Amino acid sequence: MYKMNEKSLYLTYQDDHFELPVDSKNWILQQTQGYSPVEMLASSVAACCGYVYVSVLENSHVPHLFTRITLTYERDEAKKARPLSSIDLTFYLRVEKELQPKARHCLRLVLPNCPVVQSLDRDLVINECVQFI
């Protein structure tokens, strides 16, 4: 369910790196003209978690084709600074059917090993899921 204060972004995965599609090479860090600093923070969480997940899959010998990450985030409207209250990440990848349970199990290692996540407020809720395509 899409909520009014919820924002959505996506990252693509190509040539061993994540990309946040932008219209120009110059990032305008203003919500009305480009990506806001809050959107950049949420995207940084997604990219870092994506890199950690790729590493965990490789170390677990799970062949995969990572295609993208989608993310939605919410802000806490009750607090003066309106900090992020939650981020939902969905990883899209191809994995052989018999290895999908193992790939899903690998998700448990992502948050504790992501330096960006470990640098954030502990009250921030981050949910991850994987969609096999």
Q: What is the CATH number of domain 50-133?
A: 3.30.300.20
The CA–CA distances, whole Å, from 41 to 33, 36, 119 equal 17, 9, 11
Q: If the chain, 133 residues long, is cut into consecutive pieces of 10 residues, what is the mean pLDDT of each piece?
A: 62 80 64 77 96 98 97 95 96 98 98 97 97 98
Regarding pTM above 0.85, the answer is no
List the chain domain ranges. 50-133
Q: Are 73 and 84 in contact (CB under 8 A)?
A: yes
Q: Are 92 and 69 in contact (CB under 8 A)?
A: yes
Q: Are 91 and 69 in contact (CB under 8 A)?
A: yes
Q: Are 72 and 7 in contact (CB under 8 A)?
A: yes
DSSP 56-78: HHHHTT---EEEEEEEEEEE-TT
